[in-house]
């Protein structure tokens, strides 16, 4: 079975350990949310999982093979990554940015096919209106929806494939409606058999969409398990250093911060 696995990994910046002894597995067909306070190492973990951060210790394995042993083209077919910040050096249109997710498939997809897939993804993220606009003139939230379309089309290019979808704060800068739409898109991919990992700050979104939750504190995973079990008010209050309560509404849980 396809897996993405971190085995006792450590990432350092000089003498400082950013994350240490972190082990977790992203399974096909699940949505794993990573939460924790600022500076806990969430983005560093995601960077390690995609091969962008050098490991001082441990291994990251994709389908049982260390990431450095994958060539870039095959890696692009096995996982799609939305970083926290996405820079575009050229004056591409929204459609051209979305089509960047298909670069690994240029050998078997025609230009019209690539355009059609990208337009479908832009429609899903409600960004089709930006297809012909320069990416540089878009707002932060509009750019985020275009970038989300880029990774979604990368996931959808091969209908038989089940790549991993790795998202670093995918709902940052989005209004509430588009936050739900973005995570619902990720949830649909998980339901289709893809493994999804998303770094999130919103506890309610994690509770709503994730199957499992990992909590990171000071560079370590301090809790990992079923969302209902991990998202426990006493634990969350201690992790985030503020009183948090859980309320039930319409058959779902919601978390409220009562302030310090």
Q: What one-character-per-residue DSSP string does 133-163 give?
A: SBGGGS-HHHHHHHHHHHHHHHHHSSTT---
Residue 102's Cβ-count burial label (10 Å; 0-12, 13-18, 19+) is buried
Phi, psi values for residue 43, rounded to 5°: -70, -35
Q: Record the pTM.
A: 0.95
Instruction: Determine whether 258 is exposed, middle or buried from the number of CB atoms within 10 Å of its CB (0-12, 13-18, 19+).
Output: exposed
DSSP state of 259: -
The predicted-structure confidence for 11-36, as pLDDT tens digits, reads as follows 999 999 999 999 999 999 999 999 99
What domains lie within the chain, and their CATH numbers? 4-257 (3.40.50.300)
Cα separation, 130 vs 142, whole angstroms = 8
pLDDT at position 91 is 84
Strands 65-66, 57-62: parallel, antiparallel or unpaired by DSSP?
A: antiparallel
The predicted structure's pLDDT at residue 238: 95
Q: Which ranges of the chain have pLDDT less than 70?
A: 1, 89, 260
Q: What is the pLDDT of residue 58?
A: 97
The predicted structure's pLDDT at residue 1: 67
């Amino acid at each position: 079975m396809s897996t993405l696995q971190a085995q006792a990994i450590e990432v350092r910046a000089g003498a400082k350990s950013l994350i240490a002894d972190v082990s977790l597995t992203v399974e096909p067909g699940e949505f794993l949310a990573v939460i924790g306070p600022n500076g806990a190492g969430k983005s560093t973990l995601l960077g390690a999982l995609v091969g962008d951060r050098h490991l001082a210790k441990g291994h990251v394995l994709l389908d049982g093979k260390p990431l450095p042993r994958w060539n870039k083209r095959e890696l692009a077919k096995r996982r799609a990554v939305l970083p926290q910040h996405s820079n575009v050096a050229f004056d591409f249109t929204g459609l051209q940015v979305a089509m960047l997710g298909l670069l690994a498939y240029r050998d078997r997809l025609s230009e019209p096919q690539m355009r059609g897939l990208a337009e479908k993804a832009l429609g899903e993220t409600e960004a089709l209106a930006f297809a012909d606009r320069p990416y540089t003139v878009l707002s932060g939230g509009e750019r985020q929806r275009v970038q989300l379309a880029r990774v979604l089309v990368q996931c959808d290019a091969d209908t038989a494939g089940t790549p991993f979808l790795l998202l670093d704060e995918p709902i940052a800068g989005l209004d509430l409606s588009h936050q739900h739409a973005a995570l619902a898109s990720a949830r649909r991919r998980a339901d289709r058999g893809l493994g999804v990992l998303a770094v999130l700050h919103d506890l309610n979104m994690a509770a709503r969409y994730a199957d499992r939750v990992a909590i990171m504190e000071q560079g370590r995973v301090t809790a990992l398990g079923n969302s209902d079990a991990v998202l426990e008010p006493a634990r969350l209050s201690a992790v985030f250093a503020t009183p948090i309560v859980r309320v039930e509404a319409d058959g779902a849980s919601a978390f409220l911060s009562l302030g310090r």
